[in-house]
Copies of this chain bind each other. A is one copy, B any other.
């Protein structure tokens, strides 16, 4: 994959995706012992960076295929990104979602006009269910990460980081990215390679789901033992992708791993210091920046806050555990 694909995606996303801000707080700097910059992708349309990839993929389809419609598999953020892009374009979208996806994500995906097909993670064959519907209706699959136009769409966040870091006077830093299948990680890494070579991407994952970190360490694609059982539902992919891993392997620094509790603490920090709502999976990079300072290099660190689609009950729990309240 080349930077030209990301630049083309940026052209298609101009005026459609939001340019999200790069935020900071002296309180976060103090915790981390260095300057902390937060790329607030939770402020993207649909509450996560996934709108970029969804819009990029749909807008790149030939008109006839797009009009027949698209299908996606997702526990929630990719679902919403694709559903909203399809809704704006006025084309059908079928989203195959697990029954245990967060309620907010299920409800939002339906509210964005998509047809939601529910499956049971334990007993159903997701691909068989989706494949049958796709074949019957001639729907084009939009993959959550292993698809060039999706990676290119996520990479537009990297173009923004490059420009915003330069404006902030940051030429060298590690860029921490929450990592599931690696679409955002690979896309941002490609963008930074071309536009800000002093910025190095490092993927961040929750404990027990560190397939990317282990794959980068071993040099081949490693898989997680479990596929569920973390609060960080957004980034519980079994392994890096066939397209994303070679990019990550070439461009990324070592992976970082945080605990669930650190992700919840980072949610509280984003609440009180940045006035941002993050979901656990969207908070892991900030958690690494704040609570693993010895594992990070340089005077500045950039953490991507990749999503904010969290149920109210979960958010209250994070504030109850780590907030100032009674």
Which residues of chain B have C-beta atoms less than 8 A from A42's C-beta? 275
Closest to A308 in B: B275
Residues B308 and A325 in contact, CB atoms below 8 Å apart:
no
Which residues of chain B have C-beta atoms less than 8 A from A107's C-beta? 324
A23 and B18 alpha carbons, distance in the complex (Å): 9
* A231 at the binding interface (Cβ < 8 Å): no
Q: Shortest Cβ distance from A324 into chain B, in angstroms?
A: 5
Q: How many copies does the complex hold?
A: 2
Binds B, one of A149-157, A206-214, A222-230, A310-318: A310-318
* A302 at the binding interface (Cβ < 8 Å): no
Q: Shortest Cβ distance from A247 into chain B, in angstroms?
A: 28
A320 and B28 alpha carbons, distance in the complex (Å): 27
Closest to A102 in B: B324
Which residues of chain B have C-beta atoms less than 8 A from A319's C-beta? 312, 315-316
Residues A21 and B18 in contact, CB atoms below 8 Å apart:
yes
* A99 at the binding interface (Cβ < 8 Å): no
* A268 at the binding interface (Cβ < 8 Å): yes
Q: Which residues of A contact B (CB under 8 A)?
A: 18, 20-21, 23, 26-27, 40, 42-43, 47, 84, 103-104, 107-108, 111-112, 268, 271-272, 274-278, 308, 311-316, 319-320, 323-326
